[in-house]
Every structure is written in C-alpha cells, then in structure tokens.
Amino acid sequence: PQTQTRQHVAILPSPGMGHVIPMVEFAKRFVRNHNFTVTFLVPTSGSPSTAMRSVFNGLPDSIEHVFLPPVNFDDLPEGSKLETRIALTVVRSLASLRDALASLFSRRVGVVALVVDHFGLDAFDVAREFNLPSYLFYPSPAMVLSLILHLPELDESTSSEYWELTDPVKIPGCFPIPGKDLLDPIQDRKSDVYKLTLHKAKQYRLVDGIIVNTFNDLEPRAISSLQEREATEKLPRVYPVGPLAKIQRTNLTEEESQCLIWLDGQPRVSVLFISFGSGGTLSSDQTNELALGLENSEQRFLWVVRPPNDRAASAAYFKVNSQNESSFDFLPDGFLGRTRDRGLVVHSWAPQAQILSHSSIGGFLTHCGWNSILESMVNGVPMIVWPLFAEQRMNAFMLTEDIKVALRPKASENGVVEREEIARVIKALMEGGEDREKLRKRIEELKEAGSTALTEDGNSTKALADVADVWKSQIRN
C-alpha cells in the first residue's frame, strides 16, 4: 500500500485561522509537489468553528486531520492575554499530542518530521521522545523572525523599554523601525509574556529548520541576513517558501455567496474591502468613526463588521464563527440606509481570499495580519494599514515605509482615527491620482515576483524542494 512508500509529516498548528490557513496551504503545496502524506493535529479549546472546519474539509486524501480533545480554560482569569490563551491551548494539549503521535507511529505511516508554529515550540520535547526532528513554520515575515532571533542580544544591550528608545531599532537585514512599532508581546519588558517571548527566542535556535511564509523579492535583505547568520551564528536553516496564500474555497455559505454576487454587480476596481482578520475588534468610538469615514469618502465598500469591544483589539479571536451573530445596532443611526447603494456590510466573517481576487476590488483596509497582506499582494490590491495587535504594527511599517504598497491613516491624540482622516486616506487610495498609481505599480511588481517565486524554477519552489530533500533523507519512523 501507498503508506509504506510515502513519507509522512505531522503538523501542529496553534489555534487561530492566521496559523491554520497558511499551514494548510503549505501542506497542500508540499503534498502536491513532493508526494508526502500529512496529518494535522489540531489543538482546540472548544468545538472548532465553522470557519475552522471548512478549512480542513475538502482537503486532498493525502492530508488528514484530527481535532485534539478541547482543553479547559475555566481557571484562567477574565481578560487574560491572547498570547497566553493560544500558548496554553498548545501546552494543555501536549498529552493528547503524544497519544496522537503514538497512534500515527503505530500505523507505520513513515513519520519523518513534526512541524509546529511559534506557540507550538513546547511540543519539541514530545517530538524528541519519538526521535522526530522539529521544524518551525513561521506565518509572519522574515523581518519579525529576524527580530525574534536577535531578541536575546537586543535584550542585553537595551536598558529601557523599547518604546522609549529615541533611535529606531536596527533589526538585522531590516529597515530601522521605531521601538513603539515592535511586536506587542515585547512592549512591556517586566511582563510574563515578554519573558516567555525571550525564552521562545532561545528555543528558536534549537529547531532543525524554519519554514517562512515570505519570498526573496519581498524581503531580500532580511532573508539573506538570516541565511548569513546560519553560518556565523549557527542559526537553524531558513526556508522562504511563500507567498503561500489562500486562493480558492468552495462550498460557501449563503451569506458568503451574497458577498460575491454583490461584487459582481460593482464596477471594476471600485470597492474597498475592510476586514480585521479572524479576531480583530474595534472600540465603539472607533467603529462609529470608521462608519462615518466610509460614508464621507463616498466610495464603494464591503465591510466585515464585528460588534465593538472597548477592552481588547483581539476580542473575537477565540470566538470566530461564520454564523450570523446579531444585528448591526451598534452602527451609527441611519448609516446602513444612507450607504445602501454603494456599501455592503456583513457579520464577522467573509470569504476574504475570494473577495480579494474579485475584479471589483480596488483596495483593502486591513489589520495587517500577514496572511491578509499576502492575500492582498498575490491579487495586486494596494492597502490601507490599520494594525491592531501581535506583530501587525511591524507589518504595517514594512508596507508603508519599506516596500511602499499601503497608506496609513493617523490617529488623533486620544488614539482614535477620526472620520475626516479616514475619508481622506480612503479617497487617496480609491480615487485616481499619483499616490494611487505609485502604490498600484509597486504592488503589481510584487504580485509578479510572488508568482515567479512559485513557478517550477522559482526560489520558493526550490526552498520547498530543499525541505523535502532533508525530510526524505530522514529515517522513516
């Protein structure tokens, strides 16, 4: 039977669509190019969402998945940090991971590697028990990876908080970046989450290889710097295999189909798509200003709206579902009626990858999750950046200051981006003009470069083949 001749990879994604989606895309491309089989071992903290299930359903037979038994969070204090919840979901799933791996081994499928993401590093000890090499899948840019690998040095050489630094921070191979824009978990050096990140940074050095969802023409200096450090600092080998972006999904729900039907009726390159990823939320004030800014811009739009949350910017992360949630009562009075002929609002979740590839889309207002950025890029859609949490400010900085494919609205002193500013930036992106032309030209170049990286001779295809070669040379378990 096939299982005796093929090799097998186990993949452990941490909870969150931003981790699951690119790892699934990686697996799809990997089995297509390299005749492996894959099992996803998926930690959960409740019943998996409809969106999550639909990602795993309909995969080729060579990719199986198992939802690990849900972990319990009853002991966690209210308002505990997103990173803490994600990390704990994995840590509390380690015993079931061990059982699941044992069961794979008993089937003699030829397991040669365990792939995890940043939050799954603790699973390495379990992998070691099975004598299994561990690979890190990095669903964020090489810039963030470079920072994390540099964090122990940065920690030693800096005495203040990073946001207090007056000079921009130099990350190897990257455009110098203001300390306040570095990723969230390192903004308070006394916090537990900082200590955990520093600890993880050290763990990164122990993995057998790091697979990054980026490509050479997008981050040439960051990638070559990481590759040089392989030799000079004995860092793990880095494999840039991107852009792995979700392209197609079938079996849309009724509401999801409505989005695409509505887009079919709009002029080409005329609609601004607005989405804050799988869990991003805005405050009530900010939701109000965004609605009125959209209205004032007089542009067409498709907005994935969530009920506001005044406490956290990632409030919906653990609750994502494609079901209708509630009404749009929290939007400004009369907003829906006044924008009916040029705007569509949908609850909580939309088929983003398909929307971004639709010919009516002309711009994307994004929270700057890396998957959202890559999905925009592979479709040549310029962006407005609206970073909320995690490493999103770094991504936003890269898009606006370094590769220049996006505009950024300025917040007022109270931290809220006001309607006039929102309308100004939306018009600059969506109406013709020099600014828009420059952004479009640049993003088209990156779209081309990304597509070239994935051709048969492309750099990313070669990097993927390098991973396959190393795994093929492993002894099969």
Distance between CA atoms of residues 2 and 7, nearest Å: 10
Min dist. Cβ of residue 420 to ligand UDP (A)? 27
Min dist. Cβ of residue 472 to ligand UDP (A)? 30
Distance between CA atoms of residues 304 and 397, nearest Å: 23
Contact 155, 194 (CB under 8 A): no
Min dist. Cβ of residue 87 to ligand UDP (A)? 15
- Shortest-Cβ-distance residue relative to ligand UDP: 18
**Which residue lies nearer to ligand UDP by CB, 16 or 380?**
16
**Which residue lies nearer to ligand UDP by CB, 278 or 400?**
278
Catalytic (active site) residue 34: no
Query: Can you read off the two tokens belonging to residue 42?
Result: 């998926």
Identified catalytic residue from 8, 65, 117, 347:
117
Beta bridge partners of 304: 346
> Alpha-carbon dihedral of residues 450, 366, 198, 220, nearest 10 degrees?
20
Contact 172, 228 (CB under 8 A): no
Identified catalytic residue from 8, 19, 150, 347:
19
Please state the φ and ψ torsions of residue 250, each to the nearest 5 degrees.
-95, -160
Please state the φ and ψ torsions of residue 294, each to the nearest 5 degrees.
-60, -45
Catalytic (active site) residue 117: yes
Min dist. Cβ of residue 250 to ligand UDP (A)? 14
Q: Which residues bind ligand UDP (CB under 6 A)?
A: 16-18, 21, 246, 275, 277-279, 304, 349-353, 369-372, 375
**Which residue lies nearer to ligand UDP by CB, 109 or 405?**
405
Peptide bond into 243 cis (omega under 30): yes
**Which residue lies nearer to ligand UDP by CB, 123 or 304?**
304
The gap between the terminal CA atoms of the chain, to the nearest Å, is 16
Min dist. Cβ of residue 277 to ligand UDP (A)? 3
Please state the φ and ψ torsions of residue 404, each to the nearest 5 degrees.
55, 60
Three-class SS of residue 271?
strand
**Which residue lies nearer to ligand UDP by CB, 52 or 235?**
52
Q: Which residues are catalytic?
A: 19, 117
